[in-house]
Structure 1
Amino acid sequence: MIGMMERFPHLIIFLGVFLTALASVDAEVKSVFVFGDSQFDAGNNQYLKDCKLKANFKPYGSSFFNHPTGRFTNGRTVADFIAQYLEIEFQKPYQEVYRLLAKDSRMPFPSNGLNFASAGSGLLPDTNKKAGVTSIQVQLQQFEALLAKPPHLENSTHQHIHLKQINESLFFLVSGGNDVFSYFLLPGASNMTMETYVDAMLKEVDRFITKIYMNGGRRIVLFSLGPIGCIPGRVLIRGTPTDRCLDKMDEMAVYFNAGLKRFAYSIPSKYPGAIGLYAAVYVTGQKYRDNAKEYGFTNINDACCGNGPLNGGWQCGIFGYKMCKNPNEYFFWDFFHPSERTYELIAKAFWAGDKDEISPINLKTLVHIYNKTLPIH
């Protein structure tokens, strides 16, 4: 009863903000727009000629697709699992659809949304810029370019339908991990303090979401950083211990996550009619690591696939890599990324979990919040 009373004021605030702005009726969300890095990249980087960060070779994709798709894991990502929960097809990579649209401009826009995520990208535009990745800022430009009405459709209803889809879609943003890793990998490359650096990252989140809102996005999900200090790839940082996580990196992730959560909770007041969710990847992931056996993990430290210390010294699939027998028993698939099993657990938590995992409501609840009269910009 006490726990309920503690949550009750927050519930009143939440409902008060949204229900005054929304005339809610039940509706199913059938479209998702995905932005971010390798956690959600569905294969965009493999289309980029000069990009150095790719996963379009074996054994990536081996546990589900039976072939590499460009995803940086052995199967599906969180975005893929959520698409399945929505009973829609996986979002195709923007780079693939862009090429199809270039051949046939009359081709209908994918009704299930689109994936713009690029492995290696960060919130800061210079993160991994030399590796040829697509920054968040450019991902946004790609999205906005698709909103422009082609000349031959000026007298059609195509643009109205397109904006209506945006207004009713989910928008996912997962980014920041590469910024944090770069801060520690390249000491001295940034003259900023940790706090200033993180604040710069959060300002980019603000700019990004403002543009998404201006273009009609209303259901916004911000995914926090996970326990990045525990990734096997931390061994690439000089002097990093292999018997424990890199505390300073996790401290930076926690600091960023606190700011991201505050921003997510401010969305209703800052962007009238919009809903912001905070998906607690760090807390959720640590729960699985702290209770490994309960969730079927026999190894939470090493990568299933790779080489060197913790199998984190080289990328999976190259340099005479080694691979575990059962990826489902490993928290990490390769030097940077969780296994499909880990992604599935996280996706389930965000779909129907409690406020410790995703707040102020879960995705299953969010997909039923809909207003046909929301202003479309």
Structure 2
Amino acid sequence: MEKFLLFSMFFLILTKLVPAANIPAIFTFGDSIFDAGNNHFNKNCTVQADFQPYGRNFFHYPTGRFTNGRTVADFVCELLGIDLQKPYLEVEMQVRNGSSKSYPANGINFASAGSGVLSETNGNLGVTPIRAQLQQFEELVKLEKIDKKIIQEAFFLFESGSNDIFQYFIPFDTPKLDVDAFVKAMVTEVEHLIGRIYVLGARRIAIFSVGPVGCVPARVLLGASIDGCYEEVNQMVKKYNLGLEGLVNQISKRFPKAIGVYGATYDIVKLFIASPKHYGLSNTSNACCGEGALGGMAQCGTGQYTVCENPNEFLFWDFFHPSEHAYKLITKAFWGGKQSRIRPFNLKTLANITSTP
């Protein structure tokens, strides 16, 4: 208790409260959980969600998001009162063809569906891995295309790793590293990202853990049972998430004036599965849109897919991704949740503190 009070007093000395509206932008890095359409503008990429019925329940057309509506990044924007971020590749195209004279002041989404923390993950599918996303951001900063003050005041959101882990368990594709070495390599890549974005000006950094990948409907593609989660996959996810939280715990110590928070996505989703009715869910196993066992045998919108009538009652929209309703619930936990959901404090608090000069 005494240590907590000392930390609180020290923290208050270093920070001051500001309106949440003073968060002008979000810069997002990650995979399909965050992708707002980058892959759509990458014609060399085969991982796509730019077709029906993706986007049908909010945008009413496919945007490239791998869900039926908005993602966590979108909901955070709404809570901050800023416009949704455009995908980096769309912004690049608009600047080059002259339809836009400058880069947006509300941030940019660099996330690429199918990508991994490790560059080799799904590299044959034309995705943009984390290192390449970082290079895209770095180039804009070096060319002074983004105001430095905006960068220092912005949220930096990161979520990636599920594709690396899922691919690790694909049958007949023998991993080169054991689980611990593989996880260590992943965490090292995230550590590199945090260090680089800090040097480039990032001060508010939110690292979101990977959810229970072993519970997604696509687990049937790994030969898993339809009657329960693939726990071996989830154990690897937990190891990776522990590494991520360890990195977050070091941010304020290693990087002066930077603040890091860890969003416990895994634990939040597990609560949905344990008590679905409490969260307005009636189905936490099947994909609302998909084909075959659990709707996990093929991507939504392909093959002989079917779509449920009540997507808001489903945890999963397709064979790998949450529904818009699930994303909204996760965002609520991140925005105003207690430390079992996000720590050391939530996004609302992060939005209302800034380092003193």
TM-score after normalising by structure 2: 0.96
In the TM superposition, what is the alpha-carbon distance from 1:187 to its structure 2 partner?
5.0
Taking the TM superposition and a 5 Å limit, the aligned residue runs for 1:311-326 are 311-326=295-310
Report the counterpart of residue 168 of structure 1 in structure 2: 153
1:252 pairs with 2:236: yes
Taking the TM superposition and a 5 Å limit, the aligned residue runs for 1:160-239 are 162-186=147-171, 188-237=173-222, 239=223
Residues 1:30 and 2:24 aligned together: yes
Does residue 96 (structure 1) correspond to residue 90 (structure 2)? The answer is yes
Describe the SS at the equivalent of 1:185: coil
Contact 1:304 1:333 in 2 (8 A): yes
Which structure 1 residue ranges, 5 or more long, are not aligned?
A: 150-158
Match for residue 42 of structure 1?
36
Distance 1:88 1:204 in 2: 30
Structure 2, unaligned runs of 5 or more: none
Query: Aligned partners of 2:34, 2:211: CA distance in 1, in Å?
Result: 13
Q: CA deviation at 1:296?
A: 1.2
Q: Structure 1's 311 and 105: CA in aligned 2 closer, same or farther, altered over 3 A?
A: closer
Q: 1:101 to 1:10 in 2, by over 3 A?
A: farther
| Pairwise CA distance, 1:105 | 9.6
2:323 alignment partner in structure 1: 339
> Distance in 1 between the 2:173 and 2:97 partners?
46
The residue type equivalent to 1:227 in the other structure is P
CA distance, structure 1, for counterparts of residue 168 and residue 9 of structure 2: 39
What do residues 300-335 of structure 1 show as CA deviations (whole Å, max 9, x unaligned)? 100000001100000000102111110001000000
Describe the SS at the equivalent of 2:354: coil
Aligned to 2:80: 86
> What letter is aligned with 1:303?
A
Q: Using a 3 Å threshold, how does the CA distance of structure 1 residues 293 and 245 change in structure 2: closer, same or farther?
A: same
Give the superposition deviation at 1:190: 2.0
Given the alignment, which residue of 330, 344, 348 partners 2:332?
A: 348
Matching of residue 139 in structure 1 with residue 126 in structure 2: no
Asked if residue 369 in structure 1 is aligned to residue 345 in structure 2, the reply is no
How far does the alpha carbon of each residue in 1:134-166 deviate from its partner, in whole angstroms, 9 at most, with x for none? 0000000100111133xxxxxxxxx49701110
Partner secondary structure for residue 18 of structure 2: coil
Query: Aligned equivalents of 1:311 and 1:224: distance in 2?
Result: 25
Partner residue in 2 for 1:357: 341
1:295 to 279, 282, 285: 279
1:306–1:275: structure 2 CA closer, same or farther, 3 Å change rule? same
Report the CA distance shift for 1:101/1:360 in structure 2 as closer, same or farther (over 3 A).
Answer: same
1:306 alignment partner in structure 2: 290
Contact 1:25 1:371 in 2 (8 A): no
Q: Distance in 1 between matches of 2:121 and 2:4?
A: 37
Give the Cα separation in 2 of the matches to 1:187 and 1:194: 16
**If the length of structure 1 is used for normalisation, what is the TM-score?**
0.91
RMSD, matched Cα: 1.7
Displacement of 1:214: 0.3
Tell me the matched-pair count: 355
Q: Matched residues in 2 for 1:196 and 1:111: separation?
A: 40
Q: Structure 2 counterpart of 1:24, which letter?
A: K
| Structure 1 residue 298, shift from structure 2 partner | 0.9
**CA offsets 1:199-253 (integer angstroms, 9 cap, x no match):** 000000000110000000010000001011000001111x311111000000011
Q: Which residue of 2 aligns with 1:154?
A: none
Report the secondary structure of 1:258's partner residue: helix
C-alpha distance in structure 1 between counterparts of 2:89 and 2:189, whole Å: 23
Amino acid in structure 2 at the alignment position of 1:202: V
Distance 2:284 2:147 in 1: 43
Match of 1:12 in 2: 6
Q: Which residue of the partner structure matches residue 116 of structure 2?
A: 122
**For residue 283 of structure 1, what is the aligned residue in structure 2?**
267
Other-structure match for 1:58: 52
Identical residues among aligned pairs (%): 47
Output aligned runs, 1:268-279, within 5 Å: 268-279=252-263
